[in-house]
Amino acid sequence: MPKLLNENLKYNYLAEDEPPVRDERVGGCVAYCGSCSGLQSDFKSGCAQSQNRKFSQSAGCQLGLAVGIVNSLTRALLIVHSPLGCCSGMAGMAGVSASNRASRGLSVEEKPFIHTNMDEFDVVNGGVEKLKRAVIYADQEYHPEVIVIANGCVPGIIGEDIEAVVRELETQISARIVPVHCEGFKSRFVSSGYDAANHGILKYLIREPKEYPQLTEEAQIKYDFAKKYRTSRTVNIFNVGSNSNGDEVELSRLVSALGLIPKVVPLHCTVDDLDHLGEAALNVSICATHDDYLLGHLKERFGTEYILDVLPIGINCTNEWIRKIAAHFHLEKEAERLIEQENKELLEAIQPFAEVLKGKKVFVGGGETRILTTADFFKTVGMDVVGIKAHNVDRFVENLLNDIKDPNLVVEVGAHQPAEELNILNGLRPDLYVGHAGANGWVTKLGIPTMPLFGAPINYMGYSGAYELARRAARVLKNTNFSKNISKHVSIPLTDEWLATDPRTNIVEGNRF
């Protein structure tokens, strides 16, 4: 019996201003280079978790991920309490959030955001006054339902009391103010940002839901009964920033097919939706790395059971995801019927792609759960998975990792770190690379055809997602001229000495550099 993913984890941190970072709460491995069997045993013994790297490249910052969650809420306005650089990428993303919302049929709204623009004066004297002015400006100009204050490194280091600002202003303005502590320097795990955002949502946003006006006794009984029934059949599907509307539609379809009521939360929701978060029989995560803090806490608060351990990507994992949900409602038979029918149709449909993909070498890099499930799917269509690279590896994928039966599979762990990854890819030379944004460009320059691991228009999850994944992979291989041409004329900045070095020598025990 594999152990529970969140055994012994605690979720009662709401009294604190911020949750403990993942380094403390969960732990995990951020640097590893070697084989799958090596990582399996080193992870078990704890050695993998104590490794670091000598030459390191820009990793990630939890700020962006935290903001991605809270800023997606309907009628939310973001205040970035920091100098101008933090979140400056949002300047060029106006159309992205609009099309994200439009693809879900939600009203497209202007997404203003404010920087407190901390300068040298503020570093010395504090920027709280500016922050207060910004909150009041935001409330007066835009009347948002939620004002998010994302805290950057500068206020984090000088120790600004953001909670005091919230306490002072929340009675003066109509918006709910949510402080999010997502200082980049605090954690080596970008996934800490998910906890920071969810902590803010749990502590400051979710309130007692508004009930309807007084009903007649008879109507009240009917209403209560209907609500009770609805709640007993409702499944909250927790979406993530990297899933598309296509994914949500597909997963909702599968839940509906079991006769249950799917509800997709929390991204893009209104505050009212969040208030009603407790009205569900089951909370289902599609990625444990994202959601364990949120779902664990909701269980403590509302008693809602949850499923954490399956990401519905590919055929096997989607089957498993359905089985787990069905088991909670004792719908095992219905689930098997659904799975049988869906698998039959899907296998037939992907047959032409499987013929193209069979025997082709593939390398998958990106977030831990997504890459492991993707690799599993590629194996089922007959591809030769030659290597995987995870941003980090923690307890949430231990079971998935142990399921891999290929002991010599090349495994790298590192947030981005393209030097190590390109070194490995240069040796492996796969036919196809599937990777996280930011990596695909470098791999193209190496001459390897690439395909992004996620994206707003891409359906990736569920059965239809599996079909699309095979269809896209087969399409990419139809013409690989772009990467061939680019690699001939554009060079990567790494020295021959590095490319000839065994990347394993870059990994060291402890925090030496």
> Which residues are CB-contacts of 288 (< 8 A; sequence separation ≥ 6)?
5, 6, 308, 309, 311, 369, 396, 397
Q: Judged by CB, which is closer to another protein: 335, or 425?
A: 425
Q: Judged by CB, which is closer to another protein: 263, or 391?
A: 391
Q: Does 106 bind another protein (CB under 8 A)?
A: no
Q: Judged by CB, which is closer to another protein: 82, or 252?
A: 82
Q: Helical H runs in 172-331?
A: 192-200, 217-233, 245-257, 271-275, 288-302, 314-328
Q: Does 84 bind another protein (CB under 8 A)?
A: yes
CB 15, min distance to another protein, A: 22
Rg (CA), the chain: 24
140 to 179, contacts with another protein by CB under 8 A?
Answer: 141-142, 152-154, 157-158
CB 104, min distance to another protein, A: 19
Applying CB under 8 A, which part among 129-137, 245-253, 315-323, 365-373 lies near another protein? 129-137
Q: Does 417 bind another protein (CB under 8 A)?
A: yes
CB 505, min distance to another protein, A: 11
Euclidean distance between CA atoms 317 and 463, whole angstroms: 10
CB 447, min distance to another protein, A: 17
CB 301 within 8 A of CB 278: yes
Q: Does 482 bind another protein (CB under 8 A)?
A: no
298 to 327, contacts with another protein by CB under 8 A?
Answer: none
CB 99, min distance to another protein, A: 11
Q: How far does Cα 292 stand from its chain's mean position?
A: 11
Q: Does 381 bind another protein (CB under 8 A)?
A: no
418 to 477, contacts with another protein by CB under 8 A?
Answer: 418-419, 438-439, 441-442
Euclidean distance between CA atoms 364 and 368, whole angstroms: 10
Burial of 172 (0-12, 13-18, 19+ CB in 10 A): exposed
C-alpha to C-alpha distances, 278 to 305, 401, 439, nearest whole angstrom: 11, 32, 39
23 to 82, contacts with another protein by CB under 8 A?
Answer: 54-64, 79, 82
Q: Does 86 bind another protein (CB under 8 A)?
A: yes
Q: Does 203 bind another protein (CB under 8 A)?
A: no
Q: Does 115 bind another protein (CB under 8 A)?
A: yes
CB 321, min distance to another protein, A: 31
- Residue among 137, 225, 302, 482 that touches another protein (CB under 8 A): 137
> Which residues are CB-contacts of 54 (< 8 A; sequence separation ≥ 6)?
506, 507, 508, 512, 513
CB 186, min distance to another protein, A: 6
Euclidean distance between CA atoms 43 and 50, whole angstroms: 10
CB 486, min distance to another protein, A: 11
237 to 256, contacts with another protein by CB under 8 A?
Answer: none
Cβ neighbours of 232 (radius 10 Å): 14
Q: Judged by CB, which is closer to another protein: 20, or 278?
A: 20
* Cα torsion 50, 51, 56, 62: sign: negative
Burial letters 314-346, b for 16+ CB under 10 A, else e: bbbbbbbbbbbbbeebebeebbeebbeebbeeb
CB 354 within 8 A of CB 367: no
- Nearest CA to 305 among 248, 234, 398, 256? 234
Amino acid (one-letter) located at 206: I
488 to 507, contacts with another protein by CB under 8 A?
Answer: 492-495, 497-498, 501
Q: Judged by CB, which is closer to another protein: 187, or 304?
A: 187
Q: Judged by CB, which is closer to another protein: 152, or 266?
A: 152
Q: Judged by CB, which is closer to another protein: 119, or 355?
A: 119
